[in-house]
Amino acid sequence: MPSPEELVKLEWGYIVDTTRCIGCGSCVRACKLENDVPDRYFRTWVERYEIGRDETVHVDSPNGALESFKSDRLADASAVKAFFVPKLCNHCRNSACTQVCPVGASFHSPDGVVLIDKQRCMGCGYCVQACPYACRYIDHAKGTADKCTLCYHRIHRGLPPACVQACPRQARLYGNLADPDSPIRRVLHERRYYLLKPDMGTNPKCYYLGLDLEVK
């Protein structure tokens, strides 16, 4: 675990390359196993977008893509464009969830990860309502809010988040945004990227490559 002085020099960020995702759901399964995520709730999930000739959009994410995508909708001849979009907590710099938490249980770690103090959270659900990306949920067994921690317990041991490690297509990348020479920074310097719901003013640290306008 880095010292407090080293922590403030870090700023963890995340990149999702939607052009590489094949919707296999390995990331979702890895996250579930690693973090003991309750049934029917997700710290990460994958969405499938199919856009037709007439610009109709079909989106689905059956059980968060935990079992991948079984139905063969992609064979539909009317769909001219299709892609997968993995989702997770955006670890926003100006996060709505930490702002609204009435007891200060949701907070920013010194190295820029949005976390929940499970010993303090009273389970009011206000953060769940405030998150524009629906990344939070109430873990009913524990009575507290829950969400992606970027596998905080792993990244400080030098291990990648479970979803990053499980992805067979390197569609997910994480790293230190504060380091101008880090691989994640290099990608952001070279590629065009997009943020989810930028109009919300949350200033996310989860960057998307190859995203379509239809993705919210």
Partner 1 sequence: MDGFVFPNEQHVTWTVMIVLYPYITGLVAGAFIVSSLYHVFGFKNLRPIARFSLVSSFAFLLFAAVPLLNHLGRPERAANIMITPNFHSAMSGFGFVYTTYIVIVFLEIWFMYRPDFTLHWEKSRGLVRAMFYLLLLGDTRHTPEALAVDRKMVKILAGIGIPVACVLHGYVGFLFGSIKANPWWSTPLMFIIFIFSAIVSGIAVLIFLYQFVKWLKKIPYSQETLETMARFLWGFMIIAVVLELMEVLSLAYEQTEEWAVLKSLLLGKLYWTYVVLQLLVCSVVPFFLLSFACLVRLPTKLFNGLVFASSVLLLCQVLLMRWNVVVGGQLLSKSYRGFTSYLPGIFEKEGLLVAALIFIVPFLLLRQFDKVFPFFEQPGRERA
Q: Closest distance between partner 1 and the C-beta of residue 201, in Å?
A: 8
Q: Which is nearer to partner 1, 21 or 188 (CB)?
A: 21
CB 74 within 8 A of CB 82: yes
Q: Closest distance between partner 1 and the C-beta of residue 23, in Å?
A: 14
Residues in the chain: 216
Q: Which is nearer to partner 1, 9 or 216 (CB)?
A: 216
Burial of 80 per CB tally in 10 Å (0-12, 13-18, 19+)? exposed
Q: Which is nearer to partner 1, 45 or 174 (CB)?
A: 45
Q: Closest distance between partner 1 and the C-beta of residue 41, in Å?
A: 6
Q: Which is nearer to partner 1, 10 or 46 (CB)?
A: 46
Rama region for 66: left / alpha / beta (φ>0; ψ in -120 to 50; rest)? alpha
Question: For the CA atoms of 22, 73, 47, 209, what is the dihedral angle to 10 degrees?
Answer: 50
**Residues in the site for partner 1, rule: CB under 8 A?**
40-42, 45, 47, 57, 59-61, 63-64, 87, 96, 98-105, 120-126, 128-140, 142-145, 200-201, 216
Q: Closest distance between partner 1 and the C-beta of residue 134, in Å?
A: 4
Q: Which is nearer to partner 1, 15 or 145 (CB)?
A: 145
CA distance 69 to 62: 7
How is residue 1 written in tokens?
């675990």
- What is the amino acid identity at position 177? L
Q: Closest distance between partner 1 and the C-beta of residue 16, in Å?
A: 16
